[in-house]
A and B are shown apart, each in its own frame.
Chain A
Amino acid sequence: MDSLFTAAVAGLSAGGAYAILGVCAIFTYRLVAVVNFTGAAIGAAGTFAMVALFELGMPLLLAVLFGVAAGALAGLAIGLVMTTWFAGSNASTKAAVTAALLVGIIAVGLRLTGGQHPHYFPEIIPGSAFRLAGVEVTWAAVTTLVLSVAFTLLTEQFLARTRTGLQLRALSQRPMAAELIGIRVRLLALGVWAVTGGVTAFALMIIAPLRSPDFASLSLLVVPALAAALIGAFSSFRAALIGGVMIGLLEGSVSAIGPVSQYRGAVPFLVILAVLLWSQRGARWDEAR
């Protein structure tokens, strides 16, 4: 039991990462109606921009700022593609487009960043915050958790209380109507993409030193992130936040249980499956009757 708890705590840093990425996934879905597979890849682009600048001798703080800006730019670029050519497409087409873009970005990113060769990732937030059940919980893990909570609360307040928030809600629910009443739809949508890009870039910079430091691995963090978003049914930020942390903890504990630990990577998929079955249970019952 003890070792299970230890392993669960060990999964906390992964959980923080999934939570912030999951919240970002919901952010893009709620506001521009895109299930965004490129989320983590956009962040990875920003992160690698930061690393490249740091390697060139730029001070860390400046490199981080430029990296966040690069992430925002990358987000903007994807946003341009989506709003220019796929604004009127349905949700599944948009999701398919971002999945295709992800494959392209990973291929290009791997080549540009030297493939599997690791880079030196400076620790933006070094050290460990506290020790729990024999596991050092790092400041990086704590920061990602705090960041995801802050992002969740800020977004909720922003959407509920500001004029721009209201316009954003209009945009996501009835894009055509929003455009007709004079809301600058495209500008708002691009803004959403840029914000997501910047936030994921910053989040990945914090996470990256303790992850496999290559472009593909960082980009594929989108899988557990989407699982987390699904727990929030792509609408509830809070549920996604908790879901992300839960997936991390679950992954951690599974790795302590001998016979099933080799299926650890399947945890996000099982979670997705379980959530889908649960959310569709009503429909199934109705049909049966």
Chain B
Amino acid sequence: MTKTRNLLLASAAILLAATVSAKAAPTCENGPIQIGAVSTVTGVVDFSDAPRATQAVFQQLNDAGGINGCKIEFTIADDKGDPQVAAQAARDLIDNKGVVALAGGASLLDCAVNAATYDRNDVLAVQGVGVDPLCFNAPSVAPVNVGPYTLTTAVLDYATKDLGAKKLCTFFSIIGGTQEAYAAAVARWEKISGNTITLSDMTLPLQGDLTPYLVKARDAGCDAVLTNQVEPGVVQWIKTADAQKITGINWLFLAPGYTEGVSKALADSKQPIYVGTEWEPYTEATEANADWAKTMETAGLAKTAFSQGGYMAAKVLIDTISGIEGEVTRETVTAALKEGKELTYPIAGNAYSFGDAKAHSPMQATKIMQLVDGKWTVKTKDWFVLPAAE
């Protein structure tokens, strides 16, 4: 009897609440909203800048009173770059913490290991920085970054359109199952530009001398060369080009090359070096970066490109949850993300939306930076946006 009365009372209260605020309002009767991120923190690399920024944004929100009074509790799980640990971390977040969604993660292997788990549990991941190909090829993950594959297409397209490159060459280091993804990225560029790639080498070693490869690029007559080298590799690549006295080739790199370490290490090189960014260039104090920069400063965090990803993922989650009417649960958050509402942020070049597709690469815009006298300089004031992917 009392049960029925309570139920009646509860529904009356909900009705009342609904009429008082006609606007959508999320509720959280079971305590704070649980959100998590699986990230590589210790191990060979440290990607924690991304989830820490996510945490900072949620903290800022909580300090301001939360979403309609609902606070967010955010858990960063370290996968240590180890698949087994990553799988455990995801299960812990889903089963024990009861997360409603994942946001701001940046990991070497989270998507590859856990995308299927997320899919099975109907929990979605708004990845802060998607790295492995499955981040862009799973129904349960939609990263807020452009990612190496779309960026490959975009930077090649920039070289054709703005640098006037005629003979483009690519050199890729292939880790895990990235070969198909890079090949597809190059094929997409060929389709967009109507050009064909002059030389595509997928055998770049992770370690070892690069001289044979640079000589190969020069002898093939390339006028622009793109590689997916990460930080130390970018430095080695350019130093080797200098040692071989190669001139007249535009060197194109992806977002991992866009760091202060690279700009310092290559300060005295005269080579034309270009990189594509994932978001508004983090080294620029622009209007678009203002809110992100302020949040990072308040939280005492370093302003890195990865932190932009973590920041944006948090914003996506906050805006998605704010639009939910009623209790915030895994079901309602997943449904809201799958609606595919377009969310626009100044630090990104196009609108983000999750949606219901089998694979997601929502972000399709980049800005190109050039390294001039040891300083990163913006080459494209406006966003360089790729035509929509089919």
Q: Which residues of A contact B (CB under 8 A)?
A: 3, 6-7, 10-11, 13-14, 17, 110, 114-121, 128, 134-136, 138, 140, 209-214, 216-217, 220, 248, 251-252, 255-256, 261-262, 264-265
Contact = CB atoms under 8 A, between A and B. Distances in A.
Given A117-B259, A136-B245, A261-B203, 10 more contacts: A7-B215, A10-B209, A13-B209, A14-B208, A118-B262, A121-B265, A136-B243, A212-B236, A252-B212, A264-B203
B274 to A, nearest CB: 18
Given A11-B212, A256-B216, A212 B233 contact: yes
A64 B230 CA distance: 28
B196 to A, nearest CB: 18
B264 interface: yes
A7 B212 contact: yes
Contacts of B236: 210-213
Interface in B256-285: 259, 261-262, 264-265, 267
B211 interface: yes
Contacts of B267: 120
A220 B207 contact: yes
B264 A120 contact: yes
B44 A7 contact: no
B177 interface: no
A251 B243 contact: no
B239 A209 contact: yes
Nearest to A17: B209
A252 to B, nearest CB: 5
Interface in B238-255: 239-240, 243-245
Contacts of A120: 264-265, 267
Interface string B197-240: 00001110111111111011001000000000011111110011
A204 B357 CA distance: 51
B203 A118 contact: no
B215 A6 contact: yes
Contacts of A265: 205-208
A13 to B, nearest CB: 6
Contact of A210 (B212, B234, B239): B239
A97 B222 CA distance: 48
Interface of B: 44-46, 174, 201-203, 205-213, 215-216, 219, 230-236, 239-240, 243-245, 259, 261-262, 264-265, 267
Given A128-B243, A213-B232, A134 B208 contact: no
A213 B235 contact: yes
A134 B234 CA distance: 23
A212 B264 contact: no
Nearest to A18: B209
A118 B261 contact: yes
A271 to B, nearest CB: 14
- Interchain residue pairs A-B with the least CB separation, the first 5: A14-B209, A262-B203, A255-B212, A10-B211, A117-B261
Contacts of B205: 264-265
B245 A118 contact: no
B232 A212 contact: yes
Nearest to A248: B209
A262 B206 CA distance: 11
Given A217-B207, A255-B203, A118 B212 contact: no
Contacts of B264: 120
A53 B86 CA distance: 39
Contacts of B239: 209-210
Nearest to A15: B209
A255 B230 CA distance: 20
Residue from B216, B231, B232, B259 with most neighbouring chain A CB atoms (10 Å): B232
Contact of A115 (B45, B207, B210, B219): B45
A120 B233 CA distance: 13
B244 A116 contact: no
Contacts of A264: 203, 205, 208
Given A134-B219, A251-B209, A210 B240 contact: yes
A282 B40 CA distance: 51
Contacts of B212: 7, 10-11, 251-252, 255-256
Contacts of A11: 209, 211-212
Contacts of B240: 210
B244 A135 contact: yes
Contacts of A214: 231-232
Given A120-B264, A264-B208, A255 B213 contact: yes
B259 A251 contact: no
Contact of A213 (B202, B209, B265): B265
A12 to B, nearest CB: 8
Nearest to B374: A120
A216 B208 CA distance: 12
27 contacts: A6-B215, A10-B211, A11-B211, A14-B211, A116-B45, A117-B231, A118-B234, A118-B261, A118-B262, A118-B265, A134-B215, A135-B215, A138-B243, A210-B236, A210-B243, A211-B209, A212-B207, A212-B232, A213-B265, A217-B207, A251-B208, A252-B212, A255-B216, A261-B203, A262-B174, A264-B203, A265-B208
B231 A116 contact: yes
B209 A119 contact: no
A135 B245 CA distance: 9
A104 to B, nearest CB: 15
Contacts of A211: 209, 236
A241 to B, nearest CB: 18
Nearest to A253: B212
A271 B233 CA distance: 26
Nearest to A259: B203
A121 B267 CA distance: 11
A134 B232 CA distance: 26
A210 B243 CA distance: 8
Contacts of B211: 10-11, 13-14, 135, 210, 252
A133 to B, nearest CB: 9
B261 A136 contact: no
Contacts of A17: 209
